[in-house]
Structure 1
Amino acid sequence: MAYLEIFLAIVGIALLIYKWSIGTFKTFEKRKLPYEKPCPFFGNMAQSGLQRTSMHKELTEFYLRTRHHKVVGFYNLRKPMVQINDPELIKKICVKDFDYFPNHQLLITTNERLLNDMVNSMKDQRWKRMRNTLTPVFTAAKMRNMFVLMNDIFGECMQHLDKLSGNPSDGKAFEVDMKVLFHKLTSDVIATTAFGLKVNSFENPKNEFYSVGSTLIFSTALQFFKFTLSAMMPKVFTMLDMKIFDGKKVDYFVSLVVDAMKLREEQGITRPDMIQLMMEAKKESQNNWTDDEIVAQCFIFFFAALDNNTNLISITAYELLNNPEIQERLYQEILQTKEALNGGSLTYDAVQGMTYMNMVISETLRKWTLSPSIDRVCSKAYTLTDEDGTKLFDFKPGDLVTIPIAGLHRDDRYFPEPRKFDPERFSEERLSEIVPFTYMPFGAGPRSCIANRFAQMQAKGLLFHLLLNYKVEASPRTMKDMWQEARSFSLTPKTGFYMQLVPRQ
């Protein structure tokens, strides 16, 4: 009898959990919005949630199946989100009627230190004040000064590759996992430009900054589980007093910035990095930002840039090895730029003047956009209408919106042959062909990524040095099809980003 009671109890609990998992799935039916049938727990994200494909691929395929609807319902796990497929409507929500959709959703519901102080987590006027404080940090003039710091890291990376090659003058090819190489490079770039630290992760891969930082991105199954639990069951997450990040490791970053600011104020030290720029911005701002609020901006800079910037360079290199004629043309532009420098170091302005380099990076960001979607939250009742005034959807405060960037970037109506890597799409002659709000690698409107210039500057600077010294080719372990092999949130395949470098003679 006891066994039967236990069995019935288990069945009852399982049924309750199942009912909870589908509890939101009538939302779009009630609100008369087209949608695809969701899976329990995962909604329309089952394939990437179960690590069977990448989020980019799943979101793109969902968009391509539903693009005939200007507005469509999408279930991100259990969360109902209104997906906007039409460029004109995206412009309305992200720009024209921004006041109705000023905030991002909170992906992580937790009171952990720094997380709610990051600019992307801030809301309304608090976000606006911080955004205004940060904007001067990323001007072209400030980027020029930061680029000098970056150049030192590029040089260390090339020295490391020379050692790996044995004797570059032999011209002997060698294999490198580019993700690992560029991960160290990006960590060192962030260390010097954001935190005022000089580290060399190529010579000392066990340095504290790299070791601690590598554990803070979602690199383990446990972190992924905790993030998912926080998103799906925030009350349970809070009740169990769980944390996304190790508090001691977060405190490490806090002390880095606070101690650096204190030392600089006491000794009058200045350095063209983000700490210095934040210190200056704090003095000029009317807002009394706390140390934690200042540190949080350095922290999100690290958290957002480490994986994204690494992926941007890795994926560009992958496309160049698959398109040797494009690689050769880019190499010729690099040689011309080097000659124009007359023996001087690479500069920010020289990088900005490389038109074909810009076309290559722009096409990488189209085909492999770093963020497959962006979100907004409706703050007040809003009726979305078509150009002719036809009502499409009535938004309520709290409704979540998703913009399918990856899908738009691979829509053949806007980008013919979307699977083809074609930098010519971004030539001066063809730029006018791009429909506004179909190309948004860094988001759109006032909430777009503030550090986009920094990410591109790093990628272009490193590729200049890399291609000047090495030709990138496929190795036996180079993946055959990244679209099929990439998994989960990141575009990185489980097999790694292995490529072959051939020293140029």
Structure 2
Amino acid sequence: MLVEIVIFLLTFVLAYFYYTYYRIHKFLRQKGVKFIPGLPVYGNALESMNNRKHVIDEIVEIYNAFPNERYVAYIEASTPIILIRDPELIKAITVKNFDYFVDHRQFFPEVDIFGMSVFGMKGDRWRDMRTTLSPAFTGSKMRLMLPSLVEVAGYTVDYLKGKVNLMILEHAGEEINVDDLIRRYTNDVIASVAFGLQVNSYKDKDNEFFRVGRDLFKFTYWQYCVMFLYAQAPFIAKMLRLKMFTGKGVTFLREIVVSTMEYREKNNVERPDMIQLLMEASKGTLKASQVNNEDNVGFAAVEEELKPQGQTRKWEMDDLVAQVFLFFTAGFETTASSLVLCIHELALNVEIQEKLYEEIKIFKNTNDLTYESIGKLKYLDCVLNETLRKWSAAIIMDRECIKPYELPPPHEGGKPYRLNPGDLVYNMVNAIHLDSKYYPEPMKFNPERFSDENKHNIAPFTFMPFGMGPRNCIGSRLALMEFKVLLFNLILNFKIVKTENTSTTLRLKPEGFLIKMDKGTFVKFEQRQ
């Protein structure tokens, strides 16, 4: 009997996917939207779902297949998604007509800690949380956090100097696993600026904070299944109240937040970190300072576009914990990925590295590294921007349509396309960043694209590493500071030298959404005289 039930269910599921497969193809042809035919069950995502190709590479292939279209279709399993190729249309969706596209698609359940974060929230709840948090990410607040970043970067430099001295004594070189090195830096930064904890992951290599961060990004097969179910069958996933993030890691982070808030409240303790800012935000006492002309942390920084409306919402403890969890995950992994790839590129491009060193050396002779002075490092900003162009962690700006909206025809002579509530669009980021129409020789690492002489050539809505519009990345200034403080200290003290294990064929590891080199990043650090 059990076998018969299993056979029936499998037959039903397969029949459903075959039916959906043909229905989607027929629908897109009728609408005149170009697409590459997919496979039943997988759609266009066969290779990424089987970890044979990174999802970026799959999407870029479809983007490149139809160079004259304003938008095309990407079939993700049984869901048709409109890929927006045209920068003007991206502007319309993310800025001009934002009220039609307020929400992200639901990758994470609302009952999950990530779903409760400002990234996962929807509608008015998202708007209220965003305006509550915005004052915490202004330049004036970031200025207070810079000393913590400098301190943690010092841990990194001291660790590498110790490694270099040991290599000299042993008359041998040692490669450094940059993935591990940088994730220890971003771990210690987020421990300090978000949680108010002093952690040195180079000395205490197996500290609990680092283990929690590392383990959170080792996605299990179960977590991938939950994410797939929320994307393809959200009704079933919600009914079952499935969660992606549970267990010791979440409990550990929650206990830190709750105990820290209680201690500070009781003892009237204040510290310039995210927990302090959230405590103020929850009381409605956090106010944004006016941004001045010295607030020049980088070309890639995005501005806040929402204004407070009415009374501040009263947030529960779990809401605040969810925001700190988001800062932790974004600060630990996303920033680390881009930093690692920047170091990889500098190892391969020695002339760029030396030009950057010359700028930093001259700067160091007359300046201290402060929030006000960091904008003077023009070439450092160029190097960082080129990294974020070529290896953006953003991938796409996903949006869910919340009320009927008509897209203009995908090409001359075509028909408009009507989006209905629940329909999804992916506004392209990486694909546009790698489009030779906007960036000649897109795979060449060329920081000069972002020099003062050239950056006016960058067309609007073709450089979007932190997103665009009201739903952009709230932490862009903190991320840019985190990048620049570490690179400043690394390049000032060390030459980054490639080895035989430094891959020259740059290919992304075909695993989930994370941006990592397929064979890792290994270099040597030689101390400068």
2:24 paired residue number: 27
Mapped contact 1:218–1:224 kept (Cα < 8 A): no
Aligned partners of 1:424, 1:284: CA distance in 2, in Å?
Answer: 44
Deviates more, 1:217-226 or 1:415-424: 217-226
Aligned partners of 1:372, 1:459: CA distance in 2, in Å?
Answer: 19
SS of match in other structure, 1:349: coil
Q: Which amino acid aligns with 1:139?
A: T
Aligned partners of 1:266, 1:41: CA distance in 2, in Å?
Answer: 55
Q: Which amino acid aligns with 2:38?
A: P
CA deviations on 1:438-478 (whole Å, 9 max, x unpaired) are: 11111111111111111111111101111111111112221
**Unaligned residue ranges in structure 2 (runs of 5+):** 286-311
Residue correspondence of structure 1 range 25-424 to structure 2 within 5 A:
25=21, 26-27=23-24, 29-30=26-27, 32=31, 33-109=33-109, 111-112=111-112, 114-167=113-166, 173-234=173-234, 237=237, 242-284=242-284, 286-341=312-367, 344=368, 346-385=369-408, 392-424=416-448
Distance 1:12 1:267, change over 3 A: closer
Mapped contact 1:188–1:198 kept (Cα < 8 A): yes
Aligned partners of 1:213, 1:485: CA distance in 2, in Å?
Answer: 20
SS of match in other structure, 1:115: coil
Aligned partners of 1:481, 1:222: CA distance in 2, in Å?
Answer: 32
Mapped contact 2:110–2:116 kept (Cα < 8 A): no
SS of match in other structure, 1:445: coil
1:53 Cα offset (Å)? 1.6
CA deviations on 1:287-307 (whole Å, 9 max, x unpaired) are: 211111111111111112211
Deviates more, 1:222-231 or 1:193-202: 222-231
Deviates more, 1:413-422 or 1:346-355: 346-355
2:304 paired residue number: none
Distance 1:457 1:201, change over 3 A: same
Mapped contact 1:115–1:121 kept (Cα < 8 A): yes
Identity %: 36
1:140 Cα offset (Å)? 1.0
Q: Which amino acid aligns with 2:452?
A: E
2:302 paired residue number: none
SS of match in other structure, 1:394: strand
Q: Which amino acid aligns with 1:211?
A: R
1:75 Cα offset (Å)? 1.4
1:89 Cα offset (Å)? 0.8
SS of match in other structure, 1:24: helix
CA deviations on 1:381-402 (whole Å, 9 max, x unpaired) are: 1112269998521111111111
SS of match in other structure, 1:278: helix
Distance 1:21 1:321, change over 3 A: same
Aligned partners of 2:172, 2:35: CA distance in 1, in Å?
Answer: 55
Do structure 1's residue 476 and structure 2's residue 500 form an aligned pair?
yes
RMSD over equivalenced CA pairs, Å: 2.5
Mapped contact 2:25–2:37 kept (Cα < 8 A): no
Q: Which amino acid aligns with 1:24?
A: T
TM-score normalised by length of structure 2: 0.88
Mapped contact 2:108–2:115 kept (Cα < 8 A): no
2:292 paired residue number: none
**Unaligned residue ranges in structure 1 (runs of 5+):** none
SS of match in other structure, 2:175: strand
Mapped contact 1:57–1:483 kept (Cα < 8 A): no
Aligned partners of 1:84, 1:333: CA distance in 2, in Å?
Answer: 39
Question: How many pairs align?
Answer: 497
Distance 1:13 1:124, change over 3 A: closer
Q: Which amino acid aligns with 2:485?
A: G
Mapped contact 1:172–1:503 kept (Cα < 8 A): no
1:218 Cα offset (Å)? 4.0
CA deviations on 1:337-377 (whole Å, 9 max, x unpaired) are: 21122xx5x32223222110011110111111112111111
Aligned partners of 1:41, 1:197: CA distance in 2, in Å?
Answer: 46
TM-score normalised by length of structure 1: 0.92
CA deviations on 1:223-278 (whole Å, 9 max, x unpaired) are: 43443344344455566665322234212211211211111111111111011111
